[in-house]
Amino acid sequence: MPIRKDLKFTFAIAIAMAACQGWAETIPPCPIVNGVADHAFPESLPLALRSDLDQRVGQIALPGENFSIGDVNVKGPSHRLIFARSKGDRWVIALEAGGAIYNDPVLAYDVVGSDSRVTFVTQAIALPMTVCESASRLLGLG
């Protein structure tokens, strides 16, 4: 009988792994308020900001593209873009992140000057229902 228990356990793990590869939470849309710019990713980001994101996060899938949600059997990027926005010199990049625990990091940067000097400011770890609130706070909106 121990073999039957092992098979059940293996089957349960296989189902859980398959589910993790295709599941991500629905994130409510975040309205764009007056004074905030929405940016095409990656082409509209300053080069220095893209470079920092590459080093800090790695490859980022575009909205709607597949990404590795779990931390088992990882294939492709482990992050997916939610949005890239700015208000004045402050930029926020909201992402979905795979791994042991799915989460939505929102990264804040200050991009200053014609040479686009980039300073990483902070990162907030949001959940799908708090992405908009986190991004708004990091943009100085409330």
Domains in the chain: boundaries: 2-138
Q: Tell me the two tokens of residue 116.
A: 């686009």
* pLDDT score for 98: 87
* pLDDT score for 19: 44
Provide mean pLDDT across the span 120-141. Answer: 96
Q: Please count the residues of the chain.
A: 142
pLDDT digits 0-9 by tens, 68-79: 876 666 678 989
pLDDT digits 0-9 by tens, 27-68: 889 999 999 999 999 999 999 999 999 999 999 999 999 888
More reliable by pLDDT, 66 or 132: 132
* Amino acid type, 142: G
* pLDDT score for 4: 54
